[in-house]
Structure formats: C-alpha cells, structure tokens
Amino acid sequence: MHHSKIIMLAALVALAGCQTAKRGSTEVVKIFATPKAAKITTSLGHTCKSPCELKIKRREKFTVTASLAGYKTQTVDVGLKRNKSSSRKTAASIVVPGGSALVGIDLLNKANFDHDPNPVRITLRR
C-alpha cells in the first residue's frame, strides 16, 4: 500500500510539473542581421555570423551586437518576459505536496520566462 501512495504522489507532482523540467533552463535565441554574414557578439561571450541560433540560460539578460565593415555597429538589449501560461502552471503546482520545491527550482531557473525579443532582428546602416 505504501508503494501505491508514493507512485500516486510522484504522478501528481509530474502532472503539476516543474516548468524547468518541461521548458528547460535554456532557450534558443535566434538572431538575424541584415546584411547577412554580420558578425554577432553577445555580452555573454558568444560569437557567430548572422543568421545564427544561440542556446542561452533563461535567467540571462544580455546584449547582442552586430557589426560588419562599412556599416554602423548596432546593439540590442535582450531582456526577459514572463510566459503567462507557464507561470499559471507553476502557481498550480503549489497545491501539490512537494510543489513548493518545484516552484523554488522554477524561480531559480526563471523557467517561466522567455527572452524578449526572440528572434532578435538587427538592420545595419551604412
């Protein structure tokens, strides 16, 4: 009987879900610059050529800088925006036994947030 209670509790926690487990603690941020092949750098130390995709921790705010010879360098701030659907699911998990631990994990990882803007679009000017 004890095992069935543990299984039921585990099922309830899984159904309520930890948004960190469902959404992940990272997010792919897409970056597009015009003209293509502009050099992209971030304040987190990433570099790539446009267009590119970077895997960024959800809790990280950062800047994206695009540069190309003959064009003015431009920078865009990427912040965080609360995902309302995910936030409601985290709030619902509070009523489940052990759910407050899941909420703590979600808060630490900012699992209820998305990067904004995403995709990042930059148009360089001569």
pLDDT of 16:
45
Q: Is residue 82 part of a domain?
A: yes
Q: Is residue 68 part of a domain?
A: yes
Q: Is residue 7 part of a domain?
A: no
pLDDT at 8 over 60: no
Instruction: Report the number of distinct structural domains present in the chain.
Output: 1
**Considering the entire predicted model, what is its pTM?**
0.74
Q: Which of 29, 72, 30, 76 is nearest to 51 (CA)?
A: 30
Q: Is residue 11 part of a domain?
A: no
Burial class (CB in 10 A: 0-12, 13-18, 19+), 41: middle
pLDDT of 15:
44
What is the number of residues in the chain? 126
For residue 35, the enclosing domain spans 17-123
| Strand boundaries in the chain, DSSP class E | 26-34, 39-42, 47-49, 52-57, 62-67, 74-82, 113-116, 120-123
pLDDT at 18 over 70: yes
Q: Which residue has the higher pLDDT, 91 or 27?
A: 27
Q: Is residue 2 part of a domain?
A: no
Q: Is residue 10 part of a domain?
A: no
pLDDT digits (tens, 9 = 90+) for 43-90: 999 999 999 999 999 999 999 999 999 999 999 999 999 987 655 555
